[in-house]
């Protein structure tokens, strides 16, 4: 798959994203550079994904004035562990992750779960708010509107959006938030 470039619309940022097969599934990688609240950031992330689109681990690191790093792994049964293998029970039942600065992570539940037309599913998500590196468990709903269009609802804060996906089920645009600048 060719690299994807997303441009943020509400703040200054651009993401260079790649998705590659790695022998046992997929490796999603993103490099996000931008400025938020007059503070520049450079964030790299890697997400290891199984062949069935389950997140097995992720690693996020920020360069710059306040270097920060986060690495969590999953047992693929809704349990998350820190870099020292300590169980983080606050995120139990979270199968997917949602990284705030990238539209890619909306692809994870859409690829992992089968959806019938007009079917909705409510999911517990491990939400990573960047560049602050704040983690929380949130509930999100995905509803399949058509083969390549889903409605996304963040139940925790009443945010909603209709997301168009490409033929690989990768988010094309996130209306009002991200625009894909290459196809």
Q: Which two structure tokens, joined as six digits, stand for 58?
A: 């992720």
The pLDDT assigned to 101 comes to: 94
Q: Identify which of 83, 81, 79 has the alpha carbon closest to the alpha carbon of residue 92.
A: 79
- Give the Cα separation of 69 and 52 in Å (integer): 27
Asked if 139 and 120 touch (Cβ cutoff 8 Å), the reply is no
Residue with tokens 């270097």: 67
pLDDT, tens digit, for every residue of 40-50? 999 999 999 99
In 37-164, which residue ranges form alpha helices assigned H by DSSP?
107-112
pLDDT, tens digit, for every residue of 72-117? 999 999 999 999 999 999 999 999 999 999 999 999 999 999 999 9
Domain locations along the chain: 4-180
- E strands present in 53-110: 55-63, 68-74, 80-81, 96-99
β-bridge partners, 62: 43, 68
| pTM of the predicted model as reported, rounded to 2 decimal places | 0.94
């Amino acid at each position: 798959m060719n690299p994807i470039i997303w441009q943020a619309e509400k703040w200054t940022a651009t993401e260079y994203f790649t998705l590659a097969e790695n022998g046992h599934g997929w490796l999603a990688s993103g490099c996000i550079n931008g400025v938020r609240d007059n503070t520049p950031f450079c964030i790299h992330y890697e997400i290891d994904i199984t062949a069935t689109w389950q997140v097995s681990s992720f690693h996020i690191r920020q360069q710059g004035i306040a270097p920060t790093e986060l690495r969590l792994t999953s047992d693929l049964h809704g349990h998350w562990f820190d870099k020292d293998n300590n169980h983080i029970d606050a995120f139990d039942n979270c199968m997917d992750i949602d990284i705030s600065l990238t539209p890619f992570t909306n692809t994870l539940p859409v690829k992992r779960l089968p959806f019938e037309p007009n079917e909705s599913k409510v999911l517990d998500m491990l939400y990573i708010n960047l560049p602050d590196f704040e983690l929380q468990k949130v509930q999100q709903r995905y509803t399949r509107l058509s083969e390549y269009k889903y409605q996304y609802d963040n139940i925790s804060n009443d945010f909603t959006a209709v997301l168009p996906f490409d033929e690989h089920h990768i988010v094309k645009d996130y209306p009002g938030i991200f625009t894909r600048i290459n196809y």
